[in-house]
């Protein structure tokens, strides 16, 4: 979502999470929950030499796995910077 700050991105993610939860889609094979839920990772970067699309995806992915490991059906925001290797 271009030009969106973290607070706005979290708001959108929460609306999506709640909408899926409200649908109460049966998930009979799940060992975690009887209905489908969403875990979402949110990350933001400022586009510059270091704020690449790859970095954004990497940060969001880390937040997603943090959400899953923290109990699922939640949103986590990646707030810690990821070390960017120096350019040659």
Residue-wise pLDDT tens digits, 42-65: 998 877 767 788 888 999 999 999
Tell me if residue 26 falls in helix, strand or coil.
strand
Report d(CA 30, CA 83) in Å as an integer. 36
Residues, the chain: 88
Which whole number is the average pLDDT over 35-41?
Answer: 93
- 40: enclosing H helix or E strand: strand 40-42
Count CB neighbours of 43 within 10 A.
Answer: 21
Q: What is the pLDDT of residue 84?
A: 54
Bridge partners, residue 41, by sequence: 76
Report d(CA 21, CA 23) in Å as an integer. 5
């Amino acid at each position: 979502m271009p030009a969106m700050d973290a607070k706005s991105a979290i708001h959108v993610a929460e609306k999506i999470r709640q909408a899926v939860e409200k649908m109460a889609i049966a998930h009979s094979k799940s060992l975690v929950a009887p209905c489908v839920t969403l875990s979402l990772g949110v990350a933001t970067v400022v586009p510059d030499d270091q704020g690449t699309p790859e970095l954004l995806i990497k940060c969001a992915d880390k937040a997603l796995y943090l959400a899953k490991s923290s109990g699922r059906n939640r949103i986590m925001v990646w707030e810690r910077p990821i070390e960017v290797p120096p350019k040659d």
